[in-house]
Amino acid sequence: MVGTRKTLFWLALRTGVLTVLTLGFYRFWMRTRLRRWYWSAIRPGGHPLEYVGDPIEKLLGFLFAVVVLAFYIGIVNLILMFASFSLFQDNFAAYATSLVGVIPLWFYAQYRARRYVLARTRWRGLRFGLEPGAWGYAWRAMTHWAVTILSLGLLLPRMTFWLEKYKADRTFFGTARMAQGGTWTMLYPAMKPMFLALAVALAGGAAILSDNIAVGSGICIFSGFIGLYGLVYYRVDTLRRLTEAKTINGVGFTLSPNAFRVLMIYVLGSLLAAAAVFFPLVLLGILMLLIQSGDMLTDMGLEDMIAPIAGMGRYAIITASVMIYFTIFLLWSALTNVFITLPVIRHYFSSLTLSPASAANSIRQRPRDEFEEAEGFADALDVGASL
């Protein structure tokens, strides 16, 4: 994978500033430009990926999704509220039913966003694609989640495998269809750290019940750290196992990421980003206290520090507060791209190999998929489809 942190930082910061200045409208162009940068930096087999998404498609799709969701929220919720008061003399049933009704839309939006991104991605000039099936994915996801919750998480590998298989078996590269091999039980070894965390937590609970509260609390805290690592390990290891069980036109994949390294990228990257925004955050806190009550800061012995700021006037302080807030937001966004997103993607793709890559030479181009709403529902529902 190629590309430098410096180039990415200035691209993320510049597009972020334009997004703020346009009150959010430029974010569709910002996302497109960032994807093009990331895609061009990823080079499986020495050939860069291409992203050919259109920001106008994203904007129109978002507006379409907002209209649909506004109808749902305005009309459907009104009917639910009327029925709830008529039958139960309370609005709790309406809120609960409305929430349950939104859940399938989340899964629908995730599948549609994946389909759009694949359709606008090329490698060696050939398009990727994903067959229609968003509603099928939504009801499967809800069913698997229900089974996983009822099993207290023991059937998590089953859900992970079958949902990924549903998507992978409908994925195309050019005219070649991908196939997800393996079985869901092959993912159980990825849960070993989680089982260890559970065992340690039970030991801590037993110690607390035996009146060894300090020891038991320490053991429980330690189990929390193991559980955090277990969640990362599960995601990384299941991705490795699922990737290595995939084939497309005779091409196999190998992937060897390290879960501890991924965890450290997130931890250290977050600390570095937080350190960079610490001073602006403290300054923003002081300004907020000045707006609310300058006497509080005086009582804290900070009158010398706040004297130059206090003389600015209330409206100048509010303006400065808004500017500092957006500075923190923009710095955090740019730095997380530099210290987290880029290193994680680089780590994954540096360990990805295709074998034999020559088998892809016989694959031909597929027709271009058209989308009316692009990633609109994913944007409107904020289901994490930024990249």
Predicted confidence (pLDDT) per residue in 315-363, tens digit? 565 666 677 777 788 888 899 999 999 999 999 998 888 888 777 778 8
pLDDT band at 383 (very low <50, low <70, confident <90, very high): low
Model-wide pTM > 0.75 = yes
Q: Is residue 15 part of a domain?
A: no
- Domain of 197 in residue numbering reads as 183-244
CA 38/CA 184 separation, integer angstroms: 31
Range from 213-217, 276-280, 288-292, 367-371 carrying the lowest mean pLDDT: 288-292
Question: CB-based burial of residue 179 (10 Å sphere; 0-12 exposed, 13-18 middle, 19+ buried)?
Answer: middle
Q: Is residue 209 part of a domain?
A: yes
Between residues 191 and 377, which one has the greater pLDDT?
191
pLDDT at 121: 93
37 within 8 A of 13, measured Cβ to Cβ: no
Between residues 177 and 368, which one has the greater pLDDT?
177
Q: Is residue 4 part of a domain?
A: no
Q: Look at residue 385 and tell me whether its pLDDT is greater than 90.
A: no
Cis peptide before 189 (omega within 30 of 0): no
Say how many domains are in the chain.
Answer: 1
- Count of C-beta atoms within a 10 Å radius of residue 49: 19
Residues in CB range of 168: below 8 A, 6 or more apart:
178, 179, 180, 242, 246
- Report the pLDDT averaged over residues 98-107: 77
Residue 289, classed as helix, strand or coil, is helix
Q: Look at residue 299 and tell me whether its pLDDT is greater than 80.
A: no
- What tokens appear for 383 in the block? 């289901």
Question: CB-based burial of residue 127 (10 Å sphere; 0-12 exposed, 13-18 middle, 19+ buried)?
Answer: buried
- Report the pLDDT averaged over residues 246-256: 91
- What tokens appear for 221 in the block? 């805290």
Chain Cα centroid distance, residue 69: 21
pLDDT at 358: 74
Q: Is residue 30 part of a domain?
A: no
Query: How does the average pLDDT of the chain come out, rounded?
Result: 83
Q: Look at residue 298 and tell me whether its pLDDT is greater than 60.
A: no
Q: Is residue 28 part of a domain?
A: no
Between residues 207 and 91, which one has the greater pLDDT?
207
Range from 29-33, 73-77, 292-296, 336-340 carrying the lowest mean pLDDT: 292-296
Angle between helices 55-71 and 27-41 (to 10 degrees): 130
CA 274/CA 270 separation, integer angstroms: 6
CA 276/CA 24 separation, integer angstroms: 24
- Report the pLDDT averaged over residues 154-177: 95
The tens digit of pLDDT for each residue in 37-87 reads 999 999 887 889 999 988 888 888 888 888 877 777 777 766 666 666 566
Q: Is residue 56 part of a domain?
A: no
- Count of C-beta atoms within a 10 Å radius of residue 224: 14
CA 290/CA 306 separation, integer angstroms: 8
The percent of residues above 90 in pLDDT, for the chain, comes to: 45
Tell whether the torsion through CA atoms of 217, 149, 257 and 185 is positive or negative.
positive
pLDDT at 130: 92
pLDDT at 248: 92
* CA 258 to each of CA 5, 185, 239, 244, 324: distance values in angstroms, whole numbers, following the listed order: 21, 21, 11, 15, 37
Q: Which of 8-12, 17-21, 23-27, 89-93 has the highest mean pLDDT?
A: 8-12
pLDDT at 320: 66
CA 290/CA 309 separation, integer angstroms: 9
- What tokens appear for 364 in the block? 């031909």
pLDDT at 307: 47
114 within 8 A of 130, measured Cβ to Cβ: yes
59 within 8 A of 28, measured Cβ to Cβ: yes
Q: Is residue 234 part of a domain?
A: yes
Q: Which residues pair with 180 in a beta bridge?
A: 246
CA 306/CA 282 separation, integer angstroms: 12
Q: Is residue 70 part of a domain?
A: no
pLDDT band at 181 (very low <50, low <70, confident <90, very high): very high
pLDDT at 359: 75
The percent of residues above 70 in pLDDT, for the chain, comes to: 79
